[in-house]
Amino acid sequence: MILNHNHSAEYWREHLQLTSHVEGGSFRETYRAALKVPTSVLPSAFKGERNASTGIYFLLEYGDFSAFHRIAADEMWHFYDGYTLTIYEIKPEGALVVHQLGKHVHLGERPQLVISAGSWFASRVEVEDGYTLVGCTVAPGFDFADFELGDRGVLQKEYPAHAGIIGELTR
């Protein structure tokens, strides 16, 4: 077996068969639980029954970003390869939390973290020419019916203290 610790974003895109994501970056769904959670037991933010859990690979490169969006479920992020991913989370009450997803725990990074349901969040790689490969697990499972892409003007009006980062990370 040959080990190569110098993979590129293109390597991951090709070998994991990733495609473009509407929020930015590239992804591929890897898991969708067969178990269904009925609408009757889900909070009103969900627009119908959901698979119990879903998982994806997600690749982001320097110069691109995952635009501010929110979903109805918690999303757990897992670091796999590349450089640190900075995730900006605006909590429903307006607090901005900046997370560092990566392997350098001694520097405050975490190899996994959770973004709470209902938070607005966006991410980017801040190392020039860098990339990051992560995984995301959503429970109850992800469905585009529960996905909301942030509108720059609306978010800046709702969270004026964070207008700068909102301006940088919306399309």
- pLDDT tens digits, residue range 121-167? 999 999 999 999 999 999 999 999 999 999 999 999 999 999 999 99
Q: Note the pLDDT tens digit of each residue in 109-126.
A: 999 999 999 999 999 999
Classify domain 20-168 at the CATH topology level.
Jelly Rolls (2.60.120)
Collect all residues with Cβ–Cβ distance below 8 Å to 88 and sequence separation of at least 6: 68, 96, 97, 98, 99, 121, 122, 123, 165, 169
Q: Residue 158 phi/psi, 5° resolution? A: -75, -35
Q: Note the pLDDT tens digit of each residue in 28-49.
A: 999 999 999 999 999 999 999 9
Domain residue limits, the chain: 20-168
136: DSSP letter = E
**What's the pLDDT score for residue 6?**
74
Is this structure's pTM higher than 0.85? Answer: yes
